Structure 1
Amino acid sequence: DDAAGVSEAIATMRVRGAPAIGIAAAYGVVLSAYRHYPASPDVWRDKVAEDMAMLAKSRPTAVNLFTALATMEAALDRISEQPLVDLLACAERLHADDVAANHRMGELGADLIGQARGILTHCNTGALATGGYGTALGVIRSVTGRQAVAVYAGETRPWLQGARLTVWELAQEGIQVTLIADSAAAWLMKSGAVDWVVVGADRIAANGDTANKIGTYALAVLARQHGVKFMVVAPTTTIDWSIQSGEQIEIEQRDARELLPACYHTPESLVSAWNPVFDVTPAELITAIVTELGVVMNPTEANMGKLK
């Protein structure tokens, strides 16, 4: 019910998924204004700016967070005599635009996949991770609405978003899905059961390099080895035009205790953990990037520039 609560929810991954993070942050700005405008009419903008800075620090990798905050900051600069109404309307537009973009991407991605026999997805990219419908999961929803296709979901360690969220969402939609251990992906691809890997993104560089949930890069390498096509589905708000390649994407490192069994949570333990929660897939391993403005095949900086 306030910006601090939203920031904490994002930082602890109770709100996760790049589009959902951005939308939540936008509503966090609205909550800040609702709190500070009546109480401090002379300095409320300064207090909202402080809350926005706090929200910006909640997680570093997903660019949608910063895009949404920039949009809200611009709205703050041009508000009328009804600031609360204006800011809420701006956040609601961001939310509605994301849902519309997801539906558009779902159809474009389904067109591209065509008569696939099997699709493998990673992490959670459905309604729980977006404003509604989903990005990569939105494509899968659109495909299954047209034809029968086998859907596979990796468990997505260490947070198990695939096992806890993705398969649950698909089941709610009446879509059959098969859960696999992350380490089973190579053998599944070798069996010939998968034609496409379909994933979301947390940040896309100007050349098409894509940051997504840890394990995505490994799937892209495996897909190339086995002749499986690889699709990234994300709205244009996920593209960071200010960075030229994935080398410039900050990769979030989370607490080792999220990965380690509890018996190693002691100062004297000799066991540590390396816990990056994202990796970067080079553009040359990506078959297509699907956005609401169109599809970029074999992404390069020149091809990506057509979306501007």
Structure 2
Amino acid sequence: MSNNLFSYDTEIYNRNFLNCAQRQSIVMLKRDGVPVDWLFYTTQVSTDRIRDFSLIEQKPKFDFEYDGLTDDDFKVIGVDRKNHYLDSFVEAKPQLLDVIARDGFVLMSCNLIHVPHRPEYYNKRDVLHFQTLTGYNPLEAIWDAVDDNSAAILAYFTFDEAFLEKIYNASLLKGYRSFAITRRSPADIGDDVEVLFQGHRKNRCDSLHLLQDIEGYIVAEPDRLKMLAEAFSLLSGSRICFAQFLRLADVASVWIDLAVEIGREAARIRDAFTMWQVGGKVSVEKIRQRARAIADLEARLSELRSLS
């Protein structure tokens, strides 16, 4: 495990809600002065969407999709995000170097089945992943990178070119993702996000059924408990991201406090399901009470319609 850690706020930019590619690109752009927290204006994702994804569709958390972090959202904050597809690392290498020279970093696709510092997947399972490349030493054919270590914390790595070629060519989706910074004025970004936020809130709805009737979703089986833990991880992480957006938007502290409290309480439920999954003793009644309390907080937070 690499102990040379990348400097960023792990309480906000983690894998509770963001997937690897989202988290890596966001922290790299933030390092370069881009106001990335505006991207989180849609992150009070409905609990209905989280329930459907985790408990009905039963998809892994890292594949979570919602109506946010789109290419258009990145354009609003002054970033041109693009996907590029090439069949081999040999074809991709010149473009990877060009993008690093222009943007300072590039996200390269790979397959985690061949990545030793991700032991949960190494030699076990094909998983699409992106690694952030930041530099290249042509004399030694060594690449500088930022990636998750085995503790899910971003760290600095160096990889020889043969390794990168192997994991790129084995990728389930061969290509790379670039983030060209175009820069926009803070005032223009704020004005555009205000309009987008109001439109999004106007159309937002949530039954809160997952929280109000949580006991109906609980089944004491390992796979089900794992998906419940992932659902509440998504809920927790999304609200922490939403709180960060609200801080940037400079709204009244009551709204920020609501989002933070939801995030923290959801994390407690996540941890309870995780403990239960490995044989720990858990009170279903306490989970029920905490979930219903979160439902009340969610209903209050949903009343926020404008940033001004």
Normalising by structure 2, report the TM-score: 0.23
- Which structure carries more relative contact order (alpha carbon 8 Å, separation 6+)? 2
Normalising by structure 1, report the TM-score: 0.23
